[in-house]
Amino acid sequence: MSGPATSSERPAPERWDHVRAWVTQNVLTIAVGAVLLVLFVFFSIMADAFVSVPNILNMLRQIAPTMVVAVTMTYVITTSGIDLSVGSIVALSGSLLAIMVSNGWDPTLALGLTLLLGITVGAVNGWFSAYQNLPPFIVTLATLSVVRGTALLVTGGYSTPIPGQAWITVLGQGRVAGVPVPAIIAVVVLAVGWFAFNQTPFGRYVVGLGSNRESLRRTGVNTRLVGLVVFILSGLAASIAGVLVATRLASGSSNAGVGFELEVITAVVLGGTSLMGGRGSIVGTMLGALVLGVIANGLVLMHISPFYVQIVQGSILLLAIFLNTRVFSRFGLVRQ
């Protein structure tokens, strides 16, 4: 009489079932990862300097602000919201930081107030969207205009230099063991964002808010507070990005961050986060941001006009939205 089947007698079918389930659940992330690999190989062949260590590190430093904001934008879009004001917050944050430091303010205090500015704008977006039930698209479109106009007003349309002796320039120009500080900050934000999204109740609330808001509310979760918090996080991330941009360039400009929100949204959607809400991927967002960074960097090294970068990014956004809506009807995407 034969005994129960051992694991050695039935490993293959079970393993393949797990593999198929994993591939189905992560199909979009796998796809964008494959695209990133193809682009990397292509530009490595077409541009000799692309694979050099200095260029790779420079590319990571340039893409860091996008990466930071894309993490929190993943939260916002997963709740079925959107934040169009992040580019304007980048401009105002960098401008005010430069103005305060150039006028003799303590750099640490100036940095703290700059981050508080982002939190405040995010709270305004969240209050109108979550507590007043106004469409996030309209709310953040309005704050985009208000914040950009404020940046133009306080700067007069001119750039403000940041003194080189101010310690905050390290945030944009410094290196630790040869790695740019902005890249390190982006990695930290990615790690924290991934952990909170996948391993905490807050992450589950974010997904639940986008997939079934009423059911989540009936379980006793304060859905309005969750909606408020994701916009606050988005505003904070945008102000961090503004600091990184301003300190890297050693100046704050009201013209910074133009089109930045579209780049961030493209990275998030390309990474597989559903525009309808309820599904998101921090890993996919990271890969999506890297795809955009590789394309921008590679085209420049190939001496192609930088104007083509916007054309390519817009085309990628359209394609990503098309695939996003079509693929989601057939495949599920788990949080990752």
80-93: per-residue pLDDT in tens? 999 999 999 999 99
Q: Is the pLDDT of residue 10 over 80?
A: no
Output the pLDDT for position 175.
Answer: 93
Question: Pick the residue with more confidence: 19 or 290?
Answer: 290
Q: 162-218 pLDDT, tens per residue?
A: 998 889 999 999 999 999 999 999 999 999 999 999 999 999 999 999 988 888 889
Output the pLDDT for position 109.
Answer: 96
CB 254 within 8 A of CB 149: no
Q: Which of 191, 242, 232, 190 is nearest to 79 (CA)?
A: 232
> Could you give the CA distance from residue 210 to residue 207 in angstroms, rounded to a whole number?
5
Model confidence pTM above 0.85: yes
In the predicted model, what is the mean pLDDT of residues 287-300? 90
Distance of alpha carbon 126 from its chain centroid, rounded?
18
Q: Is the pLDDT of residue 334 over 50?
A: no
> Could you give the CA distance from residue 226 to residue 236 in angstroms, rounded to a whole number?
15
> Could you give the CA distance from residue 218 to residue 208 in angstroms, rounded to a whole number?
11
Predicted confidence band of residue 102 (pLDDT cuts 50, 70, 90): very high
Output the pLDDT for position 61.
Answer: 93
Output the pLDDT for position 212.
Answer: 87
In the predicted model, what is the mean pLDDT of residues 18-43? 80
CA-based torsion, 322, 325, 331, 336: positive or negative: positive
In the predicted model, what is the mean pLDDT of residues 57-68? 94
Output the pLDDT for position 261.
Answer: 93
SS3 of residue 164 by DSSP: coil
Output the pLDDT for position 3.
Answer: 53
Angle (deg, nearest 10), helices 53-78 and 260-270: 80
Q: Is the pLDDT of residue 139 over 90?
A: yes
In the predicted model, what is the mean pLDDT of residues 260-271? 91
Candidate from 13-17, 165-169, 273-277, 296-300 with smallest mean pLDDT: 13-17
Q: Is the pLDDT of residue 2 over 70?
A: no
Q: Is the pLDDT of residue 221 over 80?
A: yes
In the predicted model, what is the mean pLDDT of residues 279-286? 91
Q: Does domain 48-327 have CATH number 1.10.3470?
A: yes
Q: Is the pLDDT of residue 327 over 80?
A: no
Q: Is the pLDDT of residue 335 over 50?
A: no
Output the pLDDT for position 1.
Answer: 47
Residues recorded for the chain:
336
CB 264 within 8 A of CB 70: yes
In the predicted model, what is the mean pLDDT of residues 56-66? 94
Output the pLDDT for position 278.
Answer: 84
In the predicted model, what is the mean pLDDT of residues 59-78? 95
CB 297 within 8 A of CB 59: yes
